[in-house]
Amino acid sequence: MTPIHRPPKRGIKPLSAGILVVCSWVAAADPAKPITERSLEDLLNLQVFSASKFSQRSIEAPSAVTVITANDIKTYGYRTLGEVLRSIRGLYLSYDRNYQYLGVRGGNRPGDYNSRVLLLIDGFRTNDNVYDMAYIDRSFLLDVDLIDRVEFVPGPGSSLYGSNAFFGVINVITRQGRDIGNGEASGEVAGFDTNKQRFSLGHRFENGFDALVSATRYESSGQDLYYPEYAAPDTRYGRADGLDGERQGSLFARFAHGGWTLQSGLTQRRKDIPTGQYDTVFAASGTRTLDREAYVNLEYQSQLTSSTELSARLFYGQYLFNGSYVYPDFRNHDQTHGQWWGGEVKWFSTMLERQKITFGSEFQLNVHQDQYNYDSWSATGNRVENLDDHRDGDRFGFYLQDEIDIVDGLKLNAGLRHDRYSTFGGTINPRLGLVYQPAPATAVKFIYGTAFRAPNVYELYYWAPGPSGQKPNPHLDPESIQTYELAVESHWAGWLFTGSLFRYEIHDLISQSLDPNDGFLVFRNIGEARIDGVGTEIERAWSNGLRLRGSYSWQYGEDTATGRWLINSPKHLVKLNLSAPLCDERLRLGFENQYTSARKTDNGGEADGYFLSNLTLTAQRLMPGVELSASVYNLFDVRYFDPVDAAHRQDMILQDGRNFRLKLTLRF
Amino acid sequence: MGMVFSILLLLSGWFISMAAVADQAELLSVHEVKAGFVYNFLLFTAWPPDQPAANPGELPVCVYARGAVADSLLALNGEPVDRLRIRIVLWPEFPGDCRVVYIGASERPRLPLILPLLAKVPALVIAEEEPEPNNGTIIGLFEENHKIAFVVNLHAMHEHRLLLSSKLLRLARKTIPAAEQ
């Protein structure tokens, strides 16, 4: 495959030069007497900047945020971001042996590309500019070993983040050079003929300069699979042997000094498709997808005055998709090339008494949003063009949020954002949160908000000729959601308790349907849905090192037009994560249990509910600088299926049985 | 049009920031001052003699905090306290060796999950807090009228078997007596 890369055409350089000028100004401020030479009396009388909130509020929301740390990732042996997210209250996964799809509180329609969650890396929006997809499998930009923490904020985030912050916002915070020390080398072998290597260098230098560079390589042969839907002599009796391979590589770099952070990442993943998706020739090798995403994010944060902070970023992103599909006489190639850049400025101020005001503005220029599709015929060597669609566009938004201390123990958090798209026009999204603290350890929160998802370029302009083809619809409007949530958070006798009650109302859902006039599939704003639910979570750590996190959520999603239960929407989700030290903390055991109840499939069938257990044993103190871990996934070898979309002959796809992983990490 | 508007906003941000820089010179960041407090607290703390450090000559200061305050504390690395040198340890999984533990405001909601790990550890537990020191931290740092102040919980001090000098206690905004608990 030939990558279709073009260098950015315009304008990052002059802007960054402007930023540099400001930076040198700030750096020129007088260095004060060393802080260690000041006495306590002296310190007590010093005037200080008011408390910085930027660093603490990577995601600020009046809702119940869940945090998964690097320790959890290690303890429970998570291999992808998807697995990290699956351990969070109300979230679930499905996998069609091509991509992992995230379900949030009962919303995960097969065929949708994770476009209803916003996935940020240190504030950079990773959703691409063609499918708007949040990549949570190995096509995610970052090796999970480089994650410091993952924060998940359920509920609408459009009042702060704009499009895609529909069901929730995931913010991934990366490790820094200082967390690495000097270097790390990690290797793993796993079932299904899998191996992975990572090499990272990181350091914080005396002058405060922090650097981290890392490279990862992953390869898996995958499994030999059997699909009864293809159990016929001309489809190899349903056997797909050696067609589940996956290869992935990624690079990551992060440099920080003073208020500046520059980071960049690149990932490429190739996945063979064993399922006969899109009516391709079953059990023929060569049907596969390749995703590549790259980004650069330059961020500057500064305390302007005693009560004002500024943060600004410039970003550049690139996405390439190359799908190759084998048909009897030809091979179909589906390609996408996205390229974008933009900037954001955000002020945070406590200038007004009892108020915290955030004001910001963001823009993005989509330089390329191109889609190609062609057939190459093996017999004649002919190439038949089906689609050669070039788009560009832009979006901009500005937002205002104010957190007001009405009286002690009662806070109002009000936010509003306006977004304008070159494709459909404008939309305004508010969020109101009322936080009441009847006691220091208890908070009751009421949140109302709306969010939207802009129609993406794929839905607007993708065109496929032929008998069951697809036609564009450039008149799509954004989808919208209205949510009401009541949440309680409390600390009680060492227990952390969270409970929530919510209603989601979804309008103008972009759904694919058949146009009876011409027989073409087309995306339209025709879906309406409602999801009601409750969720509860407990967490506790004991002084002997035992840790527990458990959650239960019930949700019911209904298509309000038909009154039917939503597809791929489990009613019950249970998670139980237990971690215990063994042999005087030399070993740590991580035991994860999840229950996902039955889900309806696209063809009216039902995927049974299932229990999934994973066990990881980590040895960190056997020798200095050496860490060894062993994991067994799907410990009890449970057979379970995930519903998949109509592009498959299968209604649901069997998931991995029991498999293992051994991992060795050396620190130097 | 929208993009032009956004770029204008961007640029106006830079102008405001340039105008505001003059204001900055005589103010110290809250994080640096907090690091200064931590350093001073170490000078006025006595640890139980039966608990030698894991690495002789080192005073391990463990930090559960993110962002600027962690950076400011890192600057204390290698500074002398008596005959020991400070060693900053970020996010330790086994806090048993820590002699000082600093918990940043970002971790306040997770305090109930961190404190049990420190129950039997002879460590000076310092947390960024609202004025009232929470369950189990020895020193609570907070901000008031653009100045930093601190409170001391004597009960927690006894629990962790530490002694804080009378000078430190005198300068505290408030000391919570052991009996109150």
Q: Using H for helix, E for strand and C for coil, what is the string for A567-578?
A: ECCCCEEEEEEE
pLDDT in tens, A300-325: 988 777 778 889 999 999 999 999 99
Residues pairing with A601 in the sheet? none
> Are A398 and B9 a contacting pair at CB < 8 A?
yes
Helix residue spans in B76-153 (DSSP H): 111-114
Taking residues B12-29, what's their average pLDDT? 53
B167 touches chain A (CB under 8 A): yes
What percent of chain A lies above the pLDDT cut of 90?
68
Token readout for A281 is: 């020739």
Q: Mean pLDDT throughout A73-94?
A: 96
pLDDT per position as a tens digit, A333-354: 999 999 999 999 999 887 888 8
Q: How far apart, in whole angstroms, are the C-alpha atoms of residue B51 and residue B59?
A: 12
Strand partners, A657: none
Structure tokens at A150: 């993952």
Q: Give the integer Cα–Cα distance in Å for A624 and A619.
A: 11
Mean pLDDT of chain A, nearest integer:
89
Contact state of A361 with B71 under an 8 Å Cβ cutoff: no
Nearest to B3 among A365, A540, A543 (CB): A365
Residues on chain A touching B23 (C-beta within 8 angstroms):
304-306
Q: Does the pLDDT at position A288 exceed 90?
A: yes
Helix (H) or strand (E) holding B89: strand B84-90
Residues 6 or more apart whose CB falls under 8 angstroms from that of A538 comprise A495, A496, A497, A498, A548, A549, A550, A551
pLDDT-derived band at A61 (thresholds 50, 70, 90) equals low
More confident of the two residues A587 and B18:
A587
In this prediction, residue A400 carries a pLDDT of 94
Query: Which residues between 516 and 555 in chain A have a beta carbon less than 8 angstroms from any beta carbon of chain B?
Result: 539-543, 545, 547
The CA distance from A345 to B7, in Å, is: 9
| Residue A55 backbone phi and psi in degrees, to 5 | -65, -25
Instruction: Determine the longest span between alpha carbons in chain B, in angstroms.
Output: 71
Nearest CA in chain B to A362: B6
What CA–CA distance (Å, rounded) separates B88 from A656? 43
**Three-state DSSP string of A183-234:** EEEEEEEECCCEEEEEEEEEEECCCCCEEEEEEEEEEECCCCEECHHHCCHH
Residues 48-77 of B with CB under 8 A from A: 66-69, 71-72, 74-76
Euclidean distance between CA atoms A450 and A432, whole angstroms: 9
Q: What angle do CA A463, A467, A468 make, to 5 degrees?
A: 65
Q: Report pLDDT digits (tens) over A489-542.
A: 887 777 888 899 999 999 999 988 888 888 888 999 988 999 999 999 998 888
Banded pLDDT at A24 (limits 50, 70, 90): very low
Cα(A35)–Cα(A39) distance, rounded to whole angstroms?
9
Q: How many CB atoms lie within 10 A of CB A612?
A: 18
- Who among B10, B75, B147 is closest to A345 (CB)? B10
Q: Distances from the Cα of A287 to the Cαs of A54, A206, A277, in angstroms?
A: 46, 51, 9
Non-local CB neighbours of A509 within 8 Å, separated by 6+ positions: A479, A525, A526, A527, A528, A529
- Name which of A58-67, A71-80, A536-545, B30-39 the model is least confident about: A58-67
Three-state DSSP at B1 gives coil
Cα A156 to Cα A168: distance, rounded to the nearest angstrom? 6
Question: What is this model's ipTM?
Answer: 0.82
Looking at residue A541, its amino acid is: A
Q: Would you call A48 and B146 a contact, using CB atoms and an 8 Å cutoff? A: yes
Chain A to chain B Cβ contacts (< 8 Å): 186
Q: Which of residues 365 through 384 in chain A touch B, CB cutoff 8 A?
A: 365
Confidence of residue A275 (pLDDT cuts 50, 70, 90): very high
Chosen from B16, B34, B40 to mutate, greatest number of chain A CBs within 10 A? B40
Looking at per-residue pLDDT, the higher value among A341 and A111 belongs to: A341
Asked if B13 lies within 8 A of A46 by C-beta distance, the reply is: no
> Which of A412-416, A602-606, A620-624, B120-124 has the least mean pLDDT?
A620-624
Residue A376 has pLDDT above 50, yes or no: yes
**B66-87: per-residue pLDDT in tens?**
777 888 888 898 889 888 899 9
Strand partners, A611: A595
Each residue of A426-479: pLDDT tens digit?
999 999 999 888 887 788 999 999 999 999 999 999 998 776 688 999 999 999
Report helix, strand or coil for B4.
helix
> Hey, which residues 188-207 in chain A have their CB within 8 Å of chain B?
204
Angle at the Cα of B167 from the Cα atoms of B166 and B169, rounded to 5 degrees: 65
Rounded distance, CA A571 to CA A567, Å? Answer: 11
B:82-101 residues touching chain A, CB 8 A cutoff: 90-91, 93-94, 96
- Rounded distance between C-alpha atoms, residue A610 and residue A599, angstroms: 10
Q: Which residues of chain B make contact with A19, given a CB cutoff of 8 A?
A: 14
What's the residue count for chain A?
668
User: Residue A636 — very low, low, confident or very high, per pLDDT cuts 50/70/90?
Assistant: very high
Residue A220's Cα: distance from chain center in Å?
Answer: 23
Q: DSSP E strands: which ranges in A515-658?
A: 521-541, 547-559, 564-565, 572-582, 587-596, 599-600, 606-607, 610-623, 626-633, 641-643, 652-654
Considering only residues A32 and A153, tell me which one the structure prediction assigns the higher pLDDT. A153
What would the mean pLDDT of A108-116 be, rounded to a whole number?
A: 89
Which domains are seen in chain A, by residue range? 50-667 (2.40.170.20)
> What domains lie within chain B, and their CATH numbers?
25-180 (3.40.50.2300)
Q: What is the pLDDT of residue A289?
A: 97
